[in-house]
Amino acid sequence: MITKLYQLKDEVSILEFLEDNVYLVDFLIDFHKQVTNIFKDNIITISLNLIHDPDILDENILFANIYTNLSVDDAMTKIGYLDDNWYLKNMNKVKGMFNFDVEWDDYKFSTLEDEEIINKVFNG
């Protein structure tokens, strides 16, 4: 089921990680549902990646990137809403083994204004 909901950066390693941390599977299914409800049609994809956490010796954490075509302000508002209304109430379920953030597709812009800003920065 996870492979249908998420783009896995290293499928074998992530599936092995989930076998060792099976409690994350139901959480990930619910997380996907929450993100979809909040971001609606503005999700390009949600990816999962294993990240080495230097604070936890010899451990990785699962990291989700929500790729969106929203403006920075709109995306950060939705991330704040997700944090305040769902994640903070459910973070005890992940036992410190999961985190997430929002990312933008480099080739798509949510507004003409965003594209103009990027063009000014890179093209003068």
CATH class of 2-123: alpha beta
Residue 109: predicted pLDDT:
45
pLDDT in tens, 35-90: 999 999 988 899 999 988 676 656 788 999 999 999 889 999 999 999 999 999 99
Residue identified by tokens 């989930």 is 18
Q: How many whole angstroms separate alpha carbon 92 and alpha carbon 30? A: 14
Band (pLDDT 50/70/90 cuts) for residue 9 is confident
**d(C-alpha 39, C-alpha 28), whole Å:** 16
Extents of the domains making up the chain: 2-123
- Tell me what the mean pLDDT of segment 108-112 comes to: 47
- Residue 27, pLDDT > 90, answer yes
The whole-chain average pLDDT of the chain stands at: 85
Q: What is the DSSP string of 91-116?
A: GGGGTT-EEEEEEE-TT--SSHHHHH
Does the global pTM surpass 0.95? Answer: no
Rounded to 5 degrees, what angle do the CA atoms 20, 84, 21 make? 0
Answer whether residue 31 shows pLDDT above 50. yes
pLDDT value of residue 107: 39
State the pLDDT at residue 110: 45
In whole angstroms, what is the distance from residue 32 CA to residue 38 CA? 10
**What pLDDT score does 56 carry?**
63
Tokens 């994350």, residue located: 24
